[in-house]
Amino acid sequence: MNAVRHNLSGQHLMLLDTEAEAYNRMAASMLIDLNPKTEPERQIAQKVIDINFRLNRLTTIENNIFSFGLVSNESDSPNDDRIEVMAAQTRAWIERASSFDCLGRYEARLSRQLLKYQEEFERLQAERKKREFADRHRSSEEIEQDKFDPASFGHIEKSYRILTHLPPPKPSSTAEIVADELAA
């Protein structure tokens, strides 16, 4: 839940209408550029899109924190404007150092993830293209024989079972035990 609260590293994006519009525009454009052909490629492409959006959001948050800090740290001194701006920037940085540090850690982690996903995406595309090139010289019967058959894993129908609901957690404190007994 911590990731949902600040929405920087969560697995699900919580977007305002204006953000959703920007996200959809960016996603559509990137999907055209990335041109995924298979489901694994689509999955990695989606991760690349999400991380790019989060990195853009991080940059915006960092700029906003710094800008609001500048406004709140300006004074009405008769100093040269350039000196006043430098002093306000320094005060804003000092006051919000932990926020900038946190954002920097998120950005570093997301950037590493993005590079790994981009490498995997390129690997998947190269593998698919190599397979497509090899398939040009094979007959349709040979290609059909190599297709994945889910039945090769055994009997598929009703091969799963529905998990039962877990029992509620046991109370950990005396107050919770008393509250549970009163509720019962």
Quick: pLDDT tens for 124-175: 999 999 888 887 877 777 767 767 666 566 555 555 454 555 566 665 666 5
What angle do helix axes 39-73 and 97-135 make, rounded to 10 degrees? 160
pTM, entire model: 0.63
**What is the span of the domain harbouring residue 40?**
2-183
Give the model's pLDDT for residue 1.
43
Give the CA radius of gyration of the chain: 27
| DSSP state, residue 157 | T
Q: For residue 132, which amino acid is it?
A: E
Q: Is 117 exposed, middle or buried (0-12, 13-18, 19+ CB in 10 A)?
A: buried
Tens place of pLDDT for every residue, the chain, 184 residues? 444 445 555 556 677 888 888 899 999 999 999 999 999 999 999 999 999 998 998 988 888 887 777 766 666 666 667 777 777 778 877 887 888 888 889 999 999 999 999 999 999 999 999 888 887 877 777 767 767 666 566 555 555 454 555 566 665 666 566 566 665 5
Question: Per the structure block, which two tokens stand in for 8?
Answer: 């920087």
Which pLDDT belongs to residue 48? 95
Under DSSP, the state recorded for 44 is H
Cβ neighbours, 10 Å, residue 106: 20
- Give the chain's domain count: 1
Residue 89: per-residue pLDDT: 78
